[in-house]
Structure 1
Amino acid sequence: MKDKMNIYILFLMALLLLYLAGCGPHVQIDKSYYHRSVQSDDGVAVQVPDYPKRILALSSAYDTILLGLVDPSRLAGVNSLSTYEQYSLEAHKAKHVKTVMRSYSLEKVIALHPDVVIAPEYITRDVIEGLRYMGIPTVVVNTGKTVEGVINNVETVATLVNESERGDQHVASIRQDIERMRQLGSTIDSKDRKRVLFVSSMDGYTGRDSLFDDMCRYMYIDNAPTAMGYPSHTSFTDERVIAMNPDYIFIPAYKGLDKNLSDRFLKTPAFHTIPAMVNHHVEPLPAAYLYTANQHIGNAMLSIMYVVYPQLERKSHE
Structure 2
Amino acid sequence: MKRIISLLIVIMMTVGIVAGCGQNAGNGTMNEKSSESSVAPENTGESQDGSDQSAGTAENQEEAVTDEFPLTVKDAGGFEMTIEKKPEKIASLTLGTDEMLLSLVDSSRIVALSSMADMEGTSNIVEEAKAFPNKISSQSLETIISLSPDLLFASSWTDVNLLEQLRDAGIVVYCYESPNSIDQQKDTIREIAKLVGEKEKGEELIAWMDQKLKEVEDKIKSLKEDEKLSALYYDSSTYTYGKNTSFDDVVTRAGMRNVVSEAGLDGWPQISKEEIVKLNPDVIIVPSVSWTEQTPEAFAEELRKDPGLKEVSAVKNNRVFIISDAHRSAISQYIVYGVEDLAKAAYPDLFK
TM-score scaled by length of structure 2: 0.72
C-alpha contact 1:105 1:127 (8 A) present in aligned 2: no
The residue aligned with 1:43 is 78
Deviates more, 1:270-279 or 1:286-295: 270-279
Whether 2:271 is the aligned partner of 1:233: answer: no
Question: CA offset at residue 49 of structure 1?
Answer: 5.3
SS at match of 1:82: coil
C-alpha contact 2:232 2:240 (8 A) present in aligned 1: no
Matches within 5 A, 1:262-281: 262=300, 264-281=302-319
C-alpha contact 1:85 1:92 (8 A) present in aligned 2: no
Which of the residues 103, 127, 137 maps onto 1:68?
A: 103
Change (3 A) 1:72 1:265: farther
Question: CA offset at residue 260 of structure 1?
Answer: 6.5
Which of the residues 62, 79, 84 maps onto 2:114?
A: 79
Distance 2:131 2:236 in 1: 28
Which of the residues 232, 244, 251 maps onto 1:216?
A: 251
Distance 1:203 1:54 in 2: 41
The residue aligned with 2:32 is none
Distance 1:176 1:224 in 2: 28
Whether 2:336 is the aligned partner of 1:298: answer: yes
* Aligned partner letter, 2:102: L
SS at match of 1:250: strand
Whether 2:152 is the aligned partner of 1:117: answer: yes
The residue aligned with 1:312 is 350
Whether 2:208 is the aligned partner of 1:167: answer: no
Deviates more, 1:62-71 or 1:198-207: 198-207
Q: 4+ residue runs of structure 1 moved beyond 6 angstroms?
A: none
Change (3 A) 1:105 1:44: same
The residue aligned with 1:149 is 184
The residue aligned with 2:63 is none
The residue aligned with 2:225 is 190
Question: CA offset at residue 162 of structure 1?
Answer: 1.9
Question: CA offset at residue 211 of structure 1?
Answer: 1.0
Higher percent of residues as helix? 1
Distance 2:98 2:237 in 1: 21
Q: Deviations over 1:142-178 (max 9, x none)?
A: 1111111100111111121222222111101112233
Distance 1:81 1:260 in 2: 25
Unaligned stretches of 5+ residues in structure 1: 1-33
The residue aligned with 1:286 is 324
* Aligned partner letter, 1:97: F
Q: Deviations over 1:201-248 (max 9, x none)?
A: 664352222110122222221112112333432213111122222222
Deviates more, 1:196-205 or 1:238-247: 196-205
Question: CA offset at residue 188 of structure 1?
Answer: 0.8
Distance 1:215 1:185 in 2: 14
Change (3 A) 1:229 1:121: same
Distance 1:71 1:50 in 2: 16
The share of aligned pairs that are identical, in percent, is 23
C-alpha contact 1:194 1:247 (8 A) present in aligned 2: yes
C-alpha contact 1:84 1:254 (8 A) present in aligned 2: no
Q: Deviations over 1:85-127 (max 9, x none)?
A: 4312222211221123453454443243222111211113222
Question: CA offset at residue 138 of structure 1?
Answer: 0.9
Q: Deviations over 1:33-78 (max 9, x none)?
A: x843333233333222533233222221221111222344433332
The residue aligned with 1:58 is 93
SS at match of 1:77: strand
Unaligned stretches of 5+ residues in structure 2: 1-68
C-alpha contact 2:100 2:332 (8 A) present in aligned 1: yes
C-alpha contact 2:93 2:136 (8 A) present in aligned 1: no
Which of the residues 212, 232, 253 maps onto 1:177?
A: 212
C-alpha contact 2:149 2:171 (8 A) present in aligned 1: yes
Question: CA offset at residue 263 of structure 1?
Answer: 5.3
Change (3 A) 1:200 1:100: farther
Which of the residues 152, 155, 161 maps onto 1:126?
A: 161
Distance 1:58 1:181 in 2: 32
SS at match of 2:117: helix
* Aligned partner letter, 1:151: K
TM-score scaled by length of structure 1: 0.78
